[in-house]
Amino acid sequence: MPPQVQIAVNINIVGLEMKNESTADAPFVFTVNYSPSIAQLSVKGRAQVIGEEGEISKMIVEHKQNKPPPVAIIQAVSGIAMAEAILLSKSLGIPPPLPPMGLSPEQMQAQQQQGQRKSEARYTT
The pLDDT of residue 124 is above 90 = no
Output the pLDDT for position 102: 63
Q: What is the pLDDT of residues 48-65, one digit of tens each?
A: 999 999 999 999 999 999
pLDDT at 46: 95
pLDDT at 100: 66
Residue 63's CATH number: 3.10.420
Whether residue 25 is predicted with pLDDT greater than 90 in this model: the reply is yes
The whole-number pLDDT of residue 125 equals 41
Nearest residue to 32 (alpha-carbon basis) of 77, 101, 82, 92: 82
Average pLDDT rounded to a whole number, residues 85-100: 91
Q: How many domains does the chain have?
A: 1
Is pLDDT above 70 for 73?
Answer: yes
Is 12 a residue whose pLDDT tops 80? yes
Nearest to 75 by CA among 102, 96, 47, 43: 47
Q: Which domain holds residue 42?
A: 4-124
